[in-house]
Structure 1
Amino acid sequence: MHSVLDPAFRRDLGDGLVLRWSTADDIERIATLHSLVHRDAADAPPNEEYIRQIRRMMSDDFPLMGPRDFGVVEDTSKAGNPIIATTAVWRHTWAYEGIPFRVGRPEMVATDPAYRNRGLIRALFELFHARSEARGDLVQAITGISYFYRQFGYEYALELDDRRMMPIALIPEGRGALTLREATVDDIPLLEELYRRRQASGILSELPTWAMWLYDIETWKRHPELRHFLACYMLVNAAGETVGALITDAYRRGKALYVWLLELIEGTNMQAILPSLLQALRAYGAGIEPALPDGEPFQEICFALGTTHPVFEFADITLRQPVEAPYAWYLRVKDLPGFLLHIAPALEQRLAASSLAGYSGDIKVNFYRGGLRMHLERGRLKVVEDWRKPVYGESEDASFPPLLFLQVLFGHRSVDFLRQVFPDVWASAEAAPLLRVLFPTRPSFMLCWN
């Protein structure tokens, strides 16, 4: 019997359903599934954009996965062995206060409606988690649909998509001095620098590979019929000088053009450049092809830049107001002691810079179905281990419902904020200030790359 890590792994799920890893021979069947699942109505035509996406992701050129990185369920009892459920495995590297760690990302999760409520996604996620953990991923992350992924050990713990809309009707007519130039390979170092600077204020950051930048600038052109997700542009002033960069959709989504990254080089005045930037984006949005045919006409520019982006300080009041509260990434940390020890240098640095420098003692955190004990000696994190509150005697220093501690760990919410919402979140008078120092609240910004 093959290990779940073996490309030849197969598991019989009953009724002719087989769980296994994909091969290049599965591309069209996976594309067919997604083209039918991702429709607005059961009688709508297949979604051609998803067919292109699957072909693109399963090519050898795609930097985050390859043709063997889908977990699939096929129905061997039907003609043609249709694939009826999938989960892809993407590979990222993130950093916690500059300390790198690997991230496994489940993507393109789908089930044929006729096969739902049979536990197929649970089986696929068990397969995904096994591979992710085996390659050393300390965290799994997904930008998924509401609630669903909580049942697999995920918690909302990182800001995602703070969207601000600018109707193009409010942008003054005319063409400003700023133009957009398609980024080239030579621009990648500056793009990397600007992205790092954008993330510097957050707790979490990303370490994209050269191949990731190269893909949306150059590699995708090997198969232009498959298109690509993102378009990278440099901002050029009237003197021909590069003054910044932005990342936007390569193809417009419905009535909106989305802007995912907008950064200016040091010394460039954001307030002065903004009117010309909006005019350039309006012209660009009007000229690009929509992702799907027969879409709505171009009506607005959506800035998805995170709540702390400086552009919102200078923009029209319309842009200052979010469309709705930001969504969030789901994060999963199976080995919490292991992750905390991995990022111990960051926690120790926070402690050393605080009024609790040199702290010694234990922090016992009750998760109700388990817990955690952290032992510090003279400001050093010496021990982190699983802990469970005994029936008598030893008591906890803080309590969180299962998984909610991840919001504190990744700076998404503070202990004090969560205490106001959840009565079963608690910290003792001694532990509360220590937790505030070790786990400050600070928004992070992360590109989705899709």
Structure 2
Amino acid sequence: MTDIHAAATPRTRTIDLGDGLIMRWSTKDDSKHVQELVGDSFRWLLFGPPLTPGVIPPPNKILMAGARRLLSGVNATMNEFNYALVEDTKRKGTDKNPIVACTSIHRVRAYYGSVKLFFGKPELIATDPEYRNRGLVRKLLNEMIHPESEARGDSLQFIPGIPHFYRQFGYEYAMCSFGASSIKNVQSLPSLAKGKTEPYTLRKATLADIPYLVKLSERESLSPHTPFGLFYGPEYWKYTIHDYVEIMENEYDVPRDSYIFVDAATGKDVGFAIVTHAFGLKVEAIALDKEQALSWNDVLFPVLRQIVANEKTSLEAKKSKTTDPEAAKAIKTDGFPMLLQIHPAHPAYALLGTLVSPPQDKPGFRLMVRINDYPQFIRTVTPELERRLAKSPMAGLSGKLQFDFFRKVEGNKGKGLEIEFKKGKLVDVKDWARQLPEKDVEDYLAIKARGEEDQIPTLYEASLAPLTFNNLLTGERSFRDLIWSHGETSYGNDATKLLIDILFPKGEQHVDTFFW
């Protein structure tokens, strides 16, 4: 298996920040201190029961477990050398944690239509309260995390976390998970007819299933309605099927279940599902093997019944081991809900009908996106943009599409963008800046003097507020959405608007990112 987390920048690098502070990359030996910092920094992040007034909560054990897994050396998203740290050398030999700020950089597989990509994700960022407001996170991102991500070829960086905070580093909300729906009581699912056996059964996936699972993770099988999203690669499957289980230490390590669907009559594998349990029973992904030509009408309810039965068994075992009577009483082993976090157009919704609540009429979990180099991103996804153009009424187009972003801002290196097409092929893309009208007149007169008017390309001109091109690129918003939401958004003529809609259509995104 290819190591997608190999370092692109030197891991021996140390940056002196002054006053005893140094910035460096991690090793496994830093795990304990990173866990302590994360636990202390996120103690106020609520995952469980409400906070008790007047009481400082304990360290966040859930995220401490996450930090340990990230630095385990077997994580799917990063290796043990991919945490950027700020260390206070003056704290060495004392009872204080020497690690005072940290940011990890994950790498995940993604797709843009027919094009496969890698995205970087800064994650589990923390700063000791005594060291906040010193710009340490900015230094970690700008001097270590972003350069590393770009050097290894990540097309963008995306980040969850504190609302609004990461805008100052050039991030813009431009990714979003599906909104979850709920089967409020799993007992409402149709029962298996008396005397019958399930026509499709479940088995836990093994390492031998990885090639099959990677094949079924392709967009065409798993999420055909999403032109943009994250892809479950071999690293994901190896980690969630095997490695995660191997490094579990306590109840804060909650693994995912990866199920293979088996045709009981033929013994053939026919699909898969990803089921999570961290915050109740939830189906994160569910797909059929297209080569088997099966109907969801036949497969869905047998699969859901067995997922529910497995959850019931797990909850009963947990309840029997719980010594606190009140805590045991709170564990519901019958009639619990099941969440579905799958595309709103998935056939499961039509088959479930009123048994499931409609997909939420609001965004799911929103994430911020940074794309520092628009020309490089466009070059990477050129095959998909050419495919979209070829299928459109503007197939064979020649001309230049020019975007004016008004000014250069943190998070992107250009004031504008020019994309040139010749006979439907993307032949050039570059940073661009609008020049003075007087210079336009001068250039035109020079061309006319040379008798080359017929070589003047057709121009398609538009303007966008800084960084909102991120929303167009990811499909999180349409051009029309941006026209209504940002007064800076404009276009020269109807042909320009049509071209933008063809190249950058709005679409749902497949985003499942918290499996680490």
Structure-2 change in CA distance of 1:309 and 1:13 (3 Å): farther
1:43-62 counterparts in 2 under 5 A?
43-62=56-75
Asked whether 1:334 is paired with 2:372, we answer yes
| Counterpart residue number, 2:447 | none
| Counterpart residue number, 2:443 | none
Aligned-residue offset at 1:206: 4.2
In structure 1, stretches of 5+ residues that fail to align are none
Amino acid across the alignment from 1:248:
V
Query: Alignment partner for residue 111 of structure 2, among 95, 112, 121?
Result: 95
TM-score with structure 2 length normalisation? 0.78
Q: Distance in 1 between matches of 2:344 and 2:31?
A: 38
| Counterpart residue number, 1:439 | 504
1:19-418 counterparts in 2 under 5 A?
19-39=23-43, 40=46, 43-78=56-91, 79=94, 80-126=96-142, 127-168=144-185, 171-172=188-189, 177=198, 179-196=201-218, 197-225=221-249, 227=253, 229-236=255-262, 239=265, 242-249=269-276, 252-254=277-279, 256-266=280-290, 267-288=293-314, 297-298=331-332, 299-317=336-354, 318-322=356-360, 324-369=362-407, 370-393=415-438, 394=440, 397-418=461-482
Paired residues of 2:226 and 2:510 also in contact (CA < 8 A): yes
Paired residues of 1:143 and 1:329 also in contact (CA < 8 A): yes
Answer with 426-435 or 341-350: which moved more: 341-350
Asked whether 1:426 is paired with 2:490, we answer yes
Please give the per-residue CA displacement for 1:54-92, whole angstroms capped at 9, x wherever unaligned.
Answer: 222212222321221101122333325432221111122
Is the partner of 1:322 in helix, strand or coil? coil
In structure 2, stretches of 5+ residues that fail to align are 1-7, 408-414, 441-458
Aligned-residue offset at 1:424: 1.8
Q: Distance in 2 between matches of 1:373 and 1:128?
A: 28
Amino acid across the alignment from 1:69:
N
TM-score with structure 1 length normalisation? 0.88
Paired residues of 2:214 and 2:233 also in contact (CA < 8 A): no
Alignment RMSD, CA only? 2.8
Amino acid across the alignment from 1:261:
A
**Aligned residue-pair number:** 443
Q: Distance in 1 between matches of 2:338 and 2:210?
A: 25
Q: Which has the higher Rg, Structure 1 or Structure 2?
A: 2
Q: Distance in 2 between matches of 1:169 and 1:92?
A: 33
Q: Distance in 1 between matches of 2:212 and 2:247?
A: 26
Q: Distance in 1 between matches of 2:377 and 2:268?
A: 44
Paired residues of 1:409 and 1:439 also in contact (CA < 8 A): yes
Structure-2 change in CA distance of 1:163 and 1:114 (3 Å): farther
Aligned-residue offset at 1:324: 4.0
Aligned-residue offset at 1:124: 1.4
Please give the per-residue CA displacement for 1:134-165, whole angstroms capped at 9, x wherever unaligned.
Answer: 22222112233422222211222233142112
Is the partner of 2:281 in helix, strand or coil? strand
Paired residues of 1:138 and 1:333 also in contact (CA < 8 A): yes
Is the partner of 2:385 in helix, strand or coil? helix
State the percentage of identical aligned residues. Answer: 31
